[in-house]
A = this chain, B = another copy of it.
Amino acid sequence: MTIAAQMRKIAQDAKAASRRLASAEGSVRQQALLNMAELLGQSGPAIFAANKKDLDAAQKNGLDSAKLDRLTISQGVLDSMIQGCREVAAMSDPVGEIEGMKKRPNGMLVGRMRVPLGVVAMIFESRPNAAVDAAVLCIKSGNAAILRGGSEAFHSIKALTKIVHQALEDAGLPKGCVQVPPTTDREAVSALLKLDEYIDVVIPRGGEGLIRAVVEQASMPVLKHYKGVCHTFVDASADLERAVLIIHNAKVQRPGTCNSLECLLVHQAVAKKFLPKVAKKLGEAGVAIRCCKASLPLMGKTAKAAVKTDWGTEFLGLVLAMKVVADLDEALDHIAQYGSNHTEAILTESHANAMRFTREADASMVAVNASTRLNDGGELGLGAEVGISTTKLHAYGPMGIRELTSAKFVVLGQGQIRQ
């Protein structure tokens, strides 16, 4: 069989399995997740052995330590997978709920029933446990999943998928509910991305290059964000002591993530007072600052002048661009020009400015007096998340179980016809 034919078979099996999953009771899907938790708990040795194969090969291929770290399944990573299964299993079943049932003038009832999307393809890099996280959320929401991880995690994902299959079968569900292409050939991804007849949505997670390649090729809708170029605007009325702590958290707590701060905008009225404070705190953390002309003299001798490309750049490390602005208008203009619709924050004591910023800053999360790092499914109360969307269609922001469903119209009539 050619790779294209193999992928078509996988997609067809997924479509068939998705019908079974969508009509299965929530208790059956829940049981599959509890089985998975149980089996993962018993399978540590097999999982670690498979993971070691991947790690050995990766070391041979000279993967850097950050990537090796993400590839590693430690006992802690395994435990958190198990906990994830149990937590999602305990959530209420989103499938089949009917919202807002109302009576129309002709007497028929009209409501909207939550339904699974159908078949979800996930294309991701590095972390093999992402396969389990995705499988768990898809099963819970009644979707069949096709999971395509990085080739460097091949053996780990294979071992994890074996467990997922066992858990499904023990719950009476077909293995087709969760499938992993048996090849690491890139052609497999290209073939999958043409199968919009069977696959309802694709969710890529990884670097901007991966995501652009998926968007370029996909014939079905893609839920994604390219990057997070997040700003924080320190307004004239901001509580400056608190601002230092928020900005430190947003930049330093985990600088490699998409919701970390990349550019600080400071109102001119407080620049002189605020910049030395923040310079000290960020300097201690080893943050390199790229300053606009107005801020450069205020930021100490380690600061460098920004170049044009620093605006709108996702540094993914301990680098921060910094700009003094005349007012909220200039801050909003800067964000409109350079932001990535991911996360924007304002630090202010002015109610009017807070309300205007939340309305006019165009981002999947807008925050008042809080760290950009809080744009996360868990922090915002969604439970587990399957990624963050910065396109406004279908989902804007972190995507949880609900974002893996749609809603169809249900009409309950007594003979109504169109007049």
> A-side interface residues toward B, CB under 8 Å?
19, 22-23, 96, 102, 104, 108, 110, 113, 115, 117-118, 200-201, 215, 219, 221, 223, 239, 242, 245-246, 249-250, 253-254, 336, 354, 358-360, 362-371, 373-376, 379-381, 391-394, 396-398, 406-418
Contacts and interface: CB of A to CB of B under 8 A. Distances in A.
A365 B249 CA distance: 47
Residue among A239, A376, A381, A409 having the largest count of chain B Cβ atoms under 10 Å: A409
Given A108-B374, A411-B367, A221 B362 contact: no
Contact of A359 (B96, B375, B414): B96
Given A246-B415, A409-B397, A221 B365 contact: no
Given A113-B359, A117-B393, A242 B415 contact: yes
Interface of A is mostly: mixed
B115 A417 contact: no
Given A108-B370, A366-B408, A370-B108, A118 B392 contact: yes
Given A108-B370, A418-B379, A393 B221 contact: yes
Contact of A381 (B23, B102, B412): B102
Contact of A417 (B200, B246, B366): B246
A394 to B, nearest CB: 4
A393 B394 contact: yes
Contact of A408 (B22, B396, B408): B396
A411 B104 contact: no
A250 B413 CA distance: 14
A370 B242 contact: no
Contacts of A414: 369
* 5 closest Cβ pairs, A-B complex: A370-B413, A373-B418, A392-B406, A249-B417, A367-B411
A413 B250 CA distance: 14
B406 A393 contact: yes
Nearest to A16: B336
A25 to B, nearest CB: 11
A338 to B, nearest CB: 13
Contacts of A393: 117, 200-201, 221, 223, 393-394, 406
A157 B219 CA distance: 32
Given A221-B221, A392-B200, A409 B246 contact: no
Nearest to A345: B411
Nearest to A391: B221
A365 B411 contact: yes
A253 to B, nearest CB: 5
A219 to B, nearest CB: 8
B392 A23 contact: no
A113 B418 CA distance: 35
B253 A418 contact: yes
